[in-house]
C-alpha cells in the first residue's frame, strides 16, 4: 500500500516531482464544518475523546482538499491528562492544567504505562480512520515532545518564554528530570499504541524547542527525541518518525542524525534555501510556508510556495506550513496553495 502514498514515499527518502502536502492543524477552526462539529461536541476535550467526532474532523480537510495525509485529531496535552493532571480549556485563551512544581505534585501522577484506558478513545479514532481514509492518504499520529509538554505542566498554561519550566530546571533539576523521564516513557508508550491502532507515521511536536539553549537543547530536546525514536524503531522498525524542533535555528543541522528522525519539519524562521543546503542533505524535510500566507493569500502566497518547492526539489520534501494554520485563515487560500504545488 505504501507505494500509493506519496507521503510515505517521501519519508522513505524518495525525491518526488510534486511533493506531498498536508498542513499542521489542517482540521481546525478555519473550516466551517469543523466549527459545526465542535459545537455538536460541546467542548474541546469531548471532541478529542469522542471517536466518531474526532474521526469526522480529521476527515473534513481530506474531503475538502484531498491532502496527501490526514493527521489524527487530538491534542498534545492528552498525555498529562491521562497521567492524572487536571486539564481544561478556556474559550479564547487555551489550555489550563494543574501544575507540577513540587515532589508531591509529581508523586500524584500515574505511571507512564498506566495511560491507555484513558486514551483508548484516541486509539479507536485511529482505527476508524484506517477504514475511512482514501487508500492513497497516509495517516499520521502524533504527540508533544517531553520538553514542550513539560512547559505546560509546570506553568499550568502556555507562556511566552517558558520561564516557569526553565526556573524549575535550574532550581530543582532532580524533579525536572524525573518529569521529563516520565513524559518520555509515556510518549513512547502512547505513540507505539497509536501505531498499533493504524498510524503509518508519527510526528513529535517540540513547539518550544527554540527556547532551549546550548547544552539544555541537547539534553532536553535532542536526547528525549533520540530515546523516543530509538524505542519506537525497536518495536516498529518500518514506521517513519517526523521530528519538529520548532525554532531550532542552526540546531536543525544534524538533528536527524542525532535523533534518528526520518524527517525534520522546519518552521518558517529559516530560509528554504538554507535548509536545503544544511538540513535536507541528511534526508527528508517538511515545510515551511509561513502560515500568515493562509490569511493574506494572493500572489505572495503563489510566489513563496513556488520558491519553497523549487528550493527543496533536489531531495525528499513534504510541503507544509512552518507552523499550524490559524483560525483566521481563508479556506480558499489553502486551495490556492495546493493548486500551486500540484501545477
CA dihedral sign, ordered 167, 168, 173, 178: negative
Compute φ and ψ for 88, nearest 5 degrees: -150, 165
Catalytic residue (choose from 9, 38, 182, 246) = 38
Each residue's pLDDT tens digit, 278-335: 999 999 999 999 999 999 999 999 999 999 999 999 999 999 999 999 999 999 999 9
Task: For the domain made up of 2-342, give the CATH fold.
Answer: TIM Barrel (3.20.20)
Catalytic residue (choose from 35, 64, 66, 75) = 75
- Give the pLDDT band (50/70/90) at residue 1: low
Residue 97: pLDDT above 90? yes
Burial of 271 (0-12, 13-18, 19+ CB in 10 A): middle
- Catalytic-residue membership of 339: no
Catalytic residue (choose from 25, 182, 227, 246) = 25
Residue boundaries of the structural domains of the chain: 2-342
Q: Which of 215, 207, 333 is nearest to 267 (CA)?
A: 207
Q: What's the pTM?
A: 0.97
- Give the pLDDT band (50/70/90) at residue 92: confident
- Catalytic-residue membership of 38: yes
- Catalytic-residue membership of 252: no
Q: Report percent pLDDT > 70 for the chain.
A: 99
- Catalytic-residue membership of 227: no
For range 190-204, the mean pLDDT: 98
Given the C-alpha cell 501545477, which residue does it identify? 343
Half-sphere exposure of residue 305: CA atoms within 13 angstroms, side-chain side: 27
What are the grid coordinates assigned to 184, written together? 518520555
Catalytic residue (choose from 34, 152, 220, 252) = 152
Q: Which of 133, 285, 115, 267 is nearest to 199 (CA)?
A: 133
- Catalytic-residue membership of 157: no
Given the C-alpha cell 513512547, which residue does it identify? 188
User: DSSP letter at 324?
Assistant: P
DSSP string of 112-170, one letter each residue: TTTTHHHHHHHHHHHHHHHHHS-TT-EEEEEEE-HHHHHHHHHHSS--SS-HHHHHHHH
Spacing of C-alpha 136 from chain mean position? 21
Buried residues in 300-312 as b, exposed as e (16+ CB within 10 A): ebeebbeebbebb
Separation of alpha carbons 302 and 127, rounded Å: 36
Amino acid at each position: 500500500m505504501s507505494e500509493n502514498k506519496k507521503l510515505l514515499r517521501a519519508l522513505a527518502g524518495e525525491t518526488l516531482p510534486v511533493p506531498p502536502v498536508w498542513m499542521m492543524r489542517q482540521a481546525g477552526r478555519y473550516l466551517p464544518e469543523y466549527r459545526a462539529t465542535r459545537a455538536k461536541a460541546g467542548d474541546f476535550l469531548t471532541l478529542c475523546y469522542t471517536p466518531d467526532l474526532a474521526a469526522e474532523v480529521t476527515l473534513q480537510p481530506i474531503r475538502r482538499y484531498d491532502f496527501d495525509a490526514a493527521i489524527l485529531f487530538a491534542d498534545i496535552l492528552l498525555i498529562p491528562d491521562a497521567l492524572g493532571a487536571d486539564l481544561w480549556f478556556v474559550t479564547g485563551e487555551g489550555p489550563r492544567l494543574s501544575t507540577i512544581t513540587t515532589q508531591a505534585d509529581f508523586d500524584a501522577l500515574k505511571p507512564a504505562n498506566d495511560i491507555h484506558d484513558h486514551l483508548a478513545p484516541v486509539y479507536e479514532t485511529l482505527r476508524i480512520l484506517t477504514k475511512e481514509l482514501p487508500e492513497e492518504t497516509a495517516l499520521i499520529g502524533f504527540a508533544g515532545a517531553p520538553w514542550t509538554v513539560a512547559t505546560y505542566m509546570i506553568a499550568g498554561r502556555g507562556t511566552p518564554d517558558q520561564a516557569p519550566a526553565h526556573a524549575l530546571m535550574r532550581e530543582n533539576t532532580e524533579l525536572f528530570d524525573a518529569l521529563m523521564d516520565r513524559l518520555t516513557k509515556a510518549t513512547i508508550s502512547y505513540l507505539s499504541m497509536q501505531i498499533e491502532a493504524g498510524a503509518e507515521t508519527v510526528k513529535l511536536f517540540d513547539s518550544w524547542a527554540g527556547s532551549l539553549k546550548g547544552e539544555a537543547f541537547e539534553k532536553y530536546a535532542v536526547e528525549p527525541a533520540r530515546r523516543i525514536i530509538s524505542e519506537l524503531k525497536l518495536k516498529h522498525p518500518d514506521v517513519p518518525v517526523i521530528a519538529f524542533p520548532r525554532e531550532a535555528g542552526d540546531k536543525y543541522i544534524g538533528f536527524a542524525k542525532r535523533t534518528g528522525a526520518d524527517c525534520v519539519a522546519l518552521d518558517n524562521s529559516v530560509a528554504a534555501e538554507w535548509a536545503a543546503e544544511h538540513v535536507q542533505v541528511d534526508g527528508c524535510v517538511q515545510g515551511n510556508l509561513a502560515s500568515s500566507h493562509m490569511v493574506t493569500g494572493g500572489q505572495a502566497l503563489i510566489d513563496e510556495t513556488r520558491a519553497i518547492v523549487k528550493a527543496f526539489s533536489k531531495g525528499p520534501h513534504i510541503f507544509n506550513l512552518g507552523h499550524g494554520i490559524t483560525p483566521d485563515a481563508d479556506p480558499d487560500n489553502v486551495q490556492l496553495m495546493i493548486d500551486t504545488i500540484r501545477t
